[in-house]
């Protein structure tokens, strides 16, 4: 009887030992404050945080901190102190690949962090669930890359001036998204720095008595965030836009403004846009 009790006790101890590490291992998914990335930010200098994917949402823990996306890109956040000597706070960001990043912000005007790569930071979670709209982001990115590699071309949509060429050589569609493949060519000996690149629908004819109406279209995605066209080079990008039609007597205008320069270009596309569209099939996406 004593032997049976002894064996039972040994078995119970083995079960407890095996269960404890499993229960204890669950703590690996818990993140404590000292594990988050600490950032030093200042009042007179701006801190840039570069994320590996587009930022879907961002939130700051205090009004004493200024936060905004960098102009023209989707994966860079600019952070700055709105008030000197603010109390420690936090910054939370969610990226399109489903990762949650948390940063602890500290005031340091003498030696702030100027450039941070979020890839080197610890992602607090990789299990973020998006809405249906955000779930389509990866499909949009895949379609854009497919449009970039397609050999079919559209002709007649170009403007050349100042040894700079702006051309739309492909218009593709999948479901409710249009993909415009845009060629930027710089034949000059000076780099072209893009200050603004806009899409908008406007009137074909401007009346002196009536104000010209413009409806700006915001891209859903772009295959590159580069804002420089190096001299003697050509760059091709694809821009994803929510599906639209061009009314009669209106244009879709692509406008490129040079930073600190005057080499501005525009390309107008009239309302026969539908005749130039090339469909992207589901089969192409799945096999890409």
> Would you say 98 and 126 are in contact if contact means Cβ atoms under 8 Å apart?
yes
Considering the domain architecture, whether residues 163 and 239 belong to the same structural domain is answered as yes
Q: Per-residue confidence at 27, pLDDT binned at 50, 70, 90? A: very low
Structurally, the chain folds into a number of domains equal to: 2
Both ends of the chain: CA-CA distance in Å? 69
**What pTM was estimated for this model as a whole?**
0.54
Q: Are both 146 and 123 inside the same structural domain?
A: no
Note whether 116 and 202 are same-domain residues. no
Tell me: do 146 and 269 sit in the same domain. yes
Q: How far, in Å, CA of 203 to CA of 216, rounded?
A: 12
pLDDT at residue 96 tops 90: no
The parent domain of residue 223 ranges over: 137-287
What pLDDT does 233 receive? 92
Quick one: 41 and 75 in the same domain?
yes
Asked if residue 283 and residue 146 are part of one domain, the reply reads yes
Q: Is there a single domain that holds both residue 149 and residue 236?
A: yes
Q: Which two tokens stand for residue 192?
A: 């072209």
- Token digits for 23? 């229960």
Single residue among 68, 95, 130 that ends a domain in this structure? 130
176-190 confidence digits (pLDDT tens) = 899 999 999 999 999
Model pLDDT, residue 118: 85
Share of the chain above pLDDT 90, in %: 34
Secondary structure (DSSP) of the chain = -HHHHHHHHHHHHHHHHHHHHHHHHGGGG---GGGSEEEEE-SSS-EEEE-SS-EEEEEES-TTEEEEEPTT-SSEEEEEESSTTPPPEEEEEEETTS-EEEEEEEE-SSS---EEEGGGSPEEES-PPPPHHHHTHHHHHHHHHHHHH------S-EEEETTEEEEEEEEEEETTEEEEEEEEEE-SSS-EEEEEEEEEEEESS--SSSPPPEEEE--SEES----EE-TTEEEEEEEEEE---PPTTEEEEEEEEETTS---EEEEE-TTGGGGEEE--HHHHHH-
Residue 139 has pLDDT above 80, yes or no: yes
Summarised one tens digit per residue, pLDDT across range 204-214 is: 765 555 556 77
Residues 122 and 78 in one domain: yes
Per the domain annotation, does 205 fall within a domain?
Answer: yes
Measured CA to CA, the distance from residue 170 to residue 182 in angstroms comes to 7
Tell me the torsion sign for CA atoms 234, 286, 240, 123: negative
Residue 30 confidence class, pLDDT cut points 50, 70, 90: very low
17 lies in some domain? no
> Which residue, among 170, 193, 200, has the nearest Cα to 183 in the 3D structure?
170
């Amino acid at each position: 009887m004593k032997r049976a009790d002894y064996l039972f006790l040994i078995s119970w101890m083995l079960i407890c030992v095996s269960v404890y590490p499993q229960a204890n291992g669950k703590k690996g998914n818990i993140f404590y404050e000292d594990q988050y990335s600490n950032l030093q930010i200042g009042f007179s200098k701006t801190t840039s945080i570069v994320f590996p994917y587009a930022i879907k949402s961002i939130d700051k823990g205090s009004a004493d901190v200024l936060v905004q996306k960098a102009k023209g890109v989707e994966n860079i956040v600019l952070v700055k102190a709105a008030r000197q000597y603010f109390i420690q706070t936090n910054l939370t960001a969610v990226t399109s690949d489903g990762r949650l990043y948390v940063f602890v912000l500290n005031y340091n005007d003498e030696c702030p962090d100027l450039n941070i790569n979020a890839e080197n930071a610890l992602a607090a979670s990789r299990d973020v669930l998006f809405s249906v709209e955000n779930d389509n982001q990866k499909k949009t990115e895949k379609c854009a890359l497919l449009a970039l590699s397609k050999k079919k071309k559209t002709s007649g949509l170009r403007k050349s001036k100042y040894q700079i060429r702006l051309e739309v050589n492909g218009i593709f569609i999948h479901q409710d998204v249009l993909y415009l493949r845009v060629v930027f060519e710089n034949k000059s000996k000076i780099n072209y720095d893009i200050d603004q690149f806009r899409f908008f629908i406007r009137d074909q004819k401007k009346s002196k008595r009536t104000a010209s109406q413009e409806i700006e279209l915001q891209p859903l995605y772009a295959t590159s965030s580069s804002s420089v066209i190096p001299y003697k080079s050509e760059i091709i990008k694809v821009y994803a836009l929510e599906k639209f039609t061009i009314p009669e007597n209106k244009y879709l205008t692509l406008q490129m403004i040079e930073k600190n320069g005057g080499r501005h270009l525009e390309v107008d596309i009239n309302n026969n846009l539908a005749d130039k569209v090339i469909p992207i099939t589901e089969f192409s996406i799945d096999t890409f």
